Homo-oligomer: A and B are copies of this chain.
C-alpha cells in the first residue's frame, strides 16, 4: 500500500506536540495509576439514567458476608447496584488459587458482562445491600432507543479502565508498590477524593489480608509483612489490623509510577 500523501491530521507521533490541554501532563503522569485524571473522571459521569433506573424499578436485596450474588458460569441476568457493604468479584483456578478482580462499593454497578455467562463470581466481603434489575429490563430499555446503551458502554469502559490499571499493578510492580497503590486507592475510595492532603484521616479496610493478597497477586504473609514495613518507615500508621492512616501520601503516590 504505497501512499504518497501524508495526512498529519490523524495519526500523531511522539514528535508532534500534543494538543494544548488544561491538564498538566506531568501531574497526570504522577497520578496516572490509580486515579484517572480529573478530566478523565469528569468524562465518565455515570449516566444518571442508570441511577434512576435502579431507584425506580430496582428490587432491594441483601447478601450476608461471604454470600454469593452470582457464581462463575451463572447466566448473566441481573445487574446490581451496591448501596452499602463491599462486594468482590473473583475466580478460583482448579488448583485452588484465587484471583480477585475487583472490589465494589456503594454506588458501583456489579454484574455487567456482555457475554451470557459470568466469568467471575461475585461475593460479599461484608454484609451488603443492593438493588437489582433484570438485564432483560435493561435490554428492553435499549430497544426503546434511549441512551441506555451508551450508559452501558460507559460502565463497561470504566471497568476496562480498572482492569487495565490492575494489569499494570500486577505486571510490573513490587509487593511494596502493590500494597501502596492499593491503600492509596482504597483511601481515595473510602474517605473520598477531596481529602487528598488530609493525611490524618483514618479509615477502615473492609477486606481481609487474604482478600488483599488475592487481589494483589501476593500471599497473605507478604501483604502482612509489607504492612509492617510501611508502618516501620512511617508511611502508614496502623491503629489496628484493619484501621489505618496514610501518613505520607507522596511516597505512596510515587509508587504509582
Contact = CB atoms under 8 A, between A and B. Distances in A.
Interface of A: 1, 3-19, 21, 25, 28-29, 32, 36-37, 39-40, 43-44, 59-63, 67-71, 73-75, 77-78, 91, 93-95, 97-99, 101, 113-117, 119-120, 129, 132, 134, 142, 145, 147, 149-150, 152-154, 156-161, 163-164, 166-168, 170-172, 214, 216-217, 257
B60 A172 contact: no
A6 B225 CA distance: 43
A168 B163 CA distance: 11
Contact of A217 (B40, B134, B142, B170): B170
Given A5-B7, A60-B3, A157-B113, A12 B163 contact: no
Contacts of A94: 29, 257
A140 to B, nearest CB: 13
A150 B156 CA distance: 11
A75 B82 CA distance: 32
Contacts of A15: 15-17
Contacts of A166: 163, 167
Nearest to A33: B93
A130 B165 CA distance: 27
Contact of A43 (B9, B77, B116): B116
A120 B164 contact: yes
A214 B172 CA distance: 8
B12 A71 contact: yes
